[in-house]
Structure formats: structure tokens, C-alpha cells
């Protein structure tokens, strides 16, 4: 390789001396998950002293990750604030487990959901990352959710606002954008996109993604776009629906195929039932 190019690469490396490696951030997430849920622990915890040591280890790991803090806060303050929120994160995850257990007839136990459901894994990554996002930590929240994305196929931006009792069924291909707002008792199936109509950089600070109110079900393959799009509470959005405008509460949106005998073809018509 050309020496000038090598020099350029070396400068990039020197500028990134304080960049925590992704593997360290992934380890922090996995270790914290192992503290919260014994199903993810690498080895059983035999005493409270052992559990306290694990908590100390994951706390030290977050300190290590925050070697460079862009927002001016002291790392001790960030770490303390984060771990003070862990009980709340855990309690929210309990509601997500319950929502999935009650919403999926195939779920044999809550333990199965924790151990085997990619939807729960992705939600857990989101809830942990979202707390760091709220604390204005750069990069790290996104690295946590993208790690879960790579393992589950579920892409949840840590900036999204998601209420309790959130259920993801199957999950592969779900995309939830940064400014999406999701209420409580919402259920999404695989392939759902909560996306933006505009990708202009000038719109970065405004809501670009839809609002999904409480008790909404969105079936597989549905695409809901736009920051002004609101899906009213207790609505059902059918599979493969493309939605770019708001719908009233208690609505049902789905497609109905119509046969054209003369052409022997079908066309889809959207049906809206408030």
C-alpha cells in the first residue's frame, strides 16, 4: 500500500484511541442481561455476594466504556444515573414478557420467552440502550441496538419512545425509527416498518416517524410512514398495508382483493372501518 495512505490510516487510529471497541459494548449488554435474567448468565449465581460482584463488574465495564464522554458530564454521574434506572428497566421488561406470554398461544412459559424469543432480546437491548440515549451518550446506545439487530433481524432505534407491555411476535424485518412513538399494549408482527416519509438531514430534529397509540396491533408486512401519521388507539392495521395518513381510534385497515373476470386478475383495495 502507498505510504501516504498508510499515514492517513494511522492518523485515523490515533484519533480513535479513546473509542471503546464494539466487543466491549456488546459484552456490557450481555453481562447486564445476565445480571437481570439468570437465563443469560454464563454461570449460576450462588449467593448475594456473587451477584454483587457481578454488578460491580458490569458497573466497572460501563466506566471503562465511557473513557471518552462527549457531553461534559462526569462518568461517575452517568454510571450512577444509569444503574439507578436499572430496576425501572427490569420492571418494564417484565411487562413485555407478560404481554408476549398472553399474546402468543405458542409460548409455553415466560422463561421460554426470555430464553428463546428474539423479540424479547431486541426489546431488552432497546430498553437498556434507550436509557443511555436519554442520558445523551453518543454511539454506545446505537451499538447496543445494532448488536441485537444483527442477532435478531429486528431494528429498533434507541431514540424511539416505546411504552410498557410491548410485544413483538416473530419479529424478523421489523424497523422502528428514531422518532417513532409507541404507546402501551402494542403488538407488532414481522416485517412491520415504522418509518419516515422524508430523509432530509434538515428534518433530523423533528418527528419523522409515526405515533402508534395504546392497544394497537400491526400485522405482518405493514408499512406506516410519517411524523404526522397517528394510528388511533385500539386500531388494527392489516398485513401489507401501506399507510401514510392518520386513522381514527378503533379503526380496522386492511386490503381486500377484487377479481376482474375479464382480465382474470385481482387488484387490492384498501378498506377503512372506523
Residue 9 lies in a domain: no
Q: What CATH number did the domain enclosing 245 receive? A: 2.160.10.10
195 lies in the same domain as 262: yes
Residue 6 lies in a domain: no
117 lies in the same domain as 27: yes
22 lies in the same domain as 145: yes
Instruction: Indicate the DSSP class of residue 197.
Output: S
271 lies in the same domain as 184: yes
Q: What CATH number did the domain enclosing 24 receive? A: 1.10.3130.10
67 lies in the same domain as 95: yes
Kindly state the average pLDDT of the residues 172-194: 98
In this predicted model, which residue has the larger pLDDT, 119 or 269? Answer: 119
> Among 107, 130, 154, which residue terminates a domain?
154
Overall domain count for the chain? 2
Helix H segments across the chain?
Answer: 3-15, 22-36, 48-65, 75-84, 86-103, 110-116, 118-134, 140-152
148 lies in the same domain as 197: no
Could you report the per-residue pLDDT of 137-181, keeping only the tens digit for each? 989 999 999 999 999 999 999 999 999 999 999 999 999 999 999
Q: Which of 236, 148, 129 has its CA nearest to residue 187?
A: 236
Residue 8 lies in a domain: no
In this predicted model, which residue has the larger pLDDT, 258 or 242? Answer: 242
172 lies in the same domain as 132: no
Residue 29 lies in a domain: yes
pLDDT band at residue 69 using 50, 70 and 90 as cut-offs: low
> Among 154, 175, 201, which residue terminates a domain?
154
Q: Which of 172, 164, 167 has its CA nearest to residue 148?
A: 172
Residue 94 lies in a domain: yes
Mean pLDDT (the chain, rounded): 91
150 lies in the same domain as 93: yes
Could you report the per-residue pLDDT of 196-232, keeping only the tens digit for each? 997 788 777 789 999 999 999 999 999 999 999 999 9
pLDDT at 63 over 60: yes
Among 3-7, 134-138, 187-191, 263-267, top mean pLDDT goes to 187-191
Could you report the per-residue pLDDT of 75-103, keeping only the tens digit for each? 899 999 999 999 999 999 999 999 999 99
24 lies in the same domain as 149: yes
Helix H segments across 135-178?
Answer: 140-152
pLDDT at res. 202: 78
Query: What percent of the chain lies above the pLDDT cut of 90?
Result: 77
pLDDT at 12 over 90: no
Q: Which residues pair with 22 in a beta bridge?
A: none
146 lies in the same domain as 26: yes
> Among 154, 175, 191, which residue terminates a domain?
154
Residue 108 lies in a domain: yes
pLDDT at res. 263: 47
pLDDT at 266 over 50: no
Domain region containing 260? 160-274
Instruction: Output the pTM of the full model.
Output: 0.90
25 lies in the same domain as 144: yes
Residue 134 lies in a domain: yes
- Interhelix angle 22-36/118-134, rounded to 10 degrees, is 110
Residue 118 lies in a domain: yes
Cβ neighbour number for residue 210 with a 10 Å cutoff: 28
Residue 212 · residue 194 · CB < 8 Å: yes
Q: Which of 21-25, 88-92, 153-157, 185-189 has the lowest mean pLDDT?
A: 21-25
174 lies in the same domain as 138: no
Q: Which of 195, 198, 223, 220 has its CA nearest to residue 210?
A: 195
Amino acid at each position: 500500500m502507498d505510504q501516504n495512505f498508510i499515514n492517513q490510516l494511522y492518523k485515523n487510529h490515533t484519533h480513535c484511541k479513546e473509542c471503546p471497541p464494539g466487543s466491549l459494548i456488546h459484552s456490557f449488554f450481555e453481562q447486564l442481561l445476565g445480571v437481570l435474567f439468570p437465563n443469560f448468565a454464563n454461570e449460576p449465581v450462588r449467593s448475594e455476594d456473587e451477584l454483587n460482584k457481578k454488578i460491580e463488574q458490569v458497573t466497572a465495564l460501563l466506566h471503562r466504556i465511557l473513557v471518552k464522554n462527549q457531553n461534559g458530564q462526569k462518568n461517575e454521574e452517568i454510571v450512577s444515573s444509569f444503574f439507578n434506572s436499572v430496576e425501572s428497566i427490569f420492571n418494564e421488561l417484565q411487562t413485555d414478557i407478560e404481554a408476549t406470554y398472553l399474546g402468543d398461544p405458542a409460548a409455553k412459559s415466560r422463561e421460554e420467552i426470555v430464553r428463546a424469543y428474539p423479540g424479547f432480546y431486541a426489546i431488552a437491548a432497546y430498553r437498556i440502550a434507550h436509557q443511555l440515549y436519554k442520558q445523551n451518550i453518543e454511539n454506545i446506545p446505537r451499538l447496543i441496538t445494532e448488536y441485537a439487530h444483527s442477532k435478531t433481524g429486528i431494528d429498533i432505534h434507541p431514540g424511539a419512545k416505546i411504552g410498557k407491555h410491548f410485544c413483538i411476535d416473530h419479529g424478523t424485518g421489523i424497523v422502528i425509527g428514531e422518532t417513532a412513538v409507541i404507546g402501551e399494549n402494542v403488538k407488532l408482527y414481522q416485517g412491520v416498518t415504522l418509518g419516515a416519509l422524508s430523509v432530509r438531514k434538515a428534518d433530523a430534529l423533528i418527528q419523522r416517524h409515526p405515533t402508534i397509540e395504546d392497544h394497537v396491533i400491526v400485522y405482518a408486512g405493514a408499512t406506516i410512514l410519517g411524523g404526522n401519521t397517528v394510528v388511533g388507539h385500539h386500531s388494527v392495521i392489516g398485513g401489507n398495508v401501506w399507510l401514510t395518513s392518520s386513522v381514527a381510534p378503533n379503526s380496522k385497515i386492511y386490503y381486500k382483493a377484487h377479481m376482474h373476470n375479464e382480465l382474470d386478475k385481482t387488484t387490492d383495495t384498501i378498506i377503512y372501518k372506523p
